[in-house]
């Protein structure tokens, strides 16, 4: 069954800025470097009661998701990690949660 995770680590992206992220589970997988995917990442603006700022429209775009594998000699090799960007299209700094939906329990159907 997919799992939905909301992470609050004080993330903030500045007005009209792009933040770059890398996410991994190094050490949690078997030695073959199995991944957690497919994974969906999303930035969710906080509301004022959660420490958010609604003095202007909050526009956060999560994009350029890449599934990567660490190379020889790199930390976590050969495990899978994910990179993505979050762009703030707002005129104000926006605090946000990072949400992940993981589908790692889905069976893989291989086609050749």
Could you tell me which of 87, 64, 66, 84 has the C-alpha nearest to residue 18? 87
CB of 64 closer than 8 Å to CB of 43: no
Question: What pTM value is reported for the model?
Answer: 0.83
pLDDT higher than 70, residue 18? yes
Confidence of residue 4 (pLDDT cuts 50, 70, 90): very high
Region of 51 on the Ramachandran plot (φ > 0 left; ψ -120 to 50 alpha; else beta): left
Number of domains within the chain:
1
Q: What percent of the chain has pLDDT over 70?
A: 89
**pLDDT score of 34 more than 70:** no
pLDDT for residue 71: 77
- Residue 110, in any domain of the structure: no
112 in a structural domain: no
26 part of a folded domain: yes
Q: Has residue 107 been placed in a domain?
A: no
Domain that holds residue 43: 3-102
Q: Is residue 27 part of a domain?
A: yes
41-91 pLDDT, tens per residue?
Answer: 999 999 999 999 989 999 999 999 998 887 777 776 777 888 999 999 999
State both tokens at 34: 């199995």
**Does residue 63 lie within any of the structural domains?**
yes
Q: Within a domain: residue 33?
A: yes
Q: pLDDT-derived band of residue 31, with 50, 70 and 90 as boundaries?
A: low
Does 25 fall in a domain? yes
């Amino acid at each position: 069954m997919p799992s939905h995770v909301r992470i609050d680590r004080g993330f903030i992206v500045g007005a009209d800025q792009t933040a770059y992220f890398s996410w991994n589970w190094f050490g949690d997988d078997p030695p073959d470097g199995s991944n957690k995917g497919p994974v969906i990442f999303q930035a969710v603006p906080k509301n004022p009661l959660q420490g958010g700022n609604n003095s202007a429209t909050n526009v956060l775009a999560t994009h350029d998701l890449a599934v990567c594998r660490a190379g020889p000699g790199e930390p976590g090799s050969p495990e899978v990690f994910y990179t993505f960007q979050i762009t703030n299209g707002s005129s104000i700094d926006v605090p946000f949660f990072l949400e992940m939906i993981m589908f790692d329990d889905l069976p893989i159907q291989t086609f050749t």
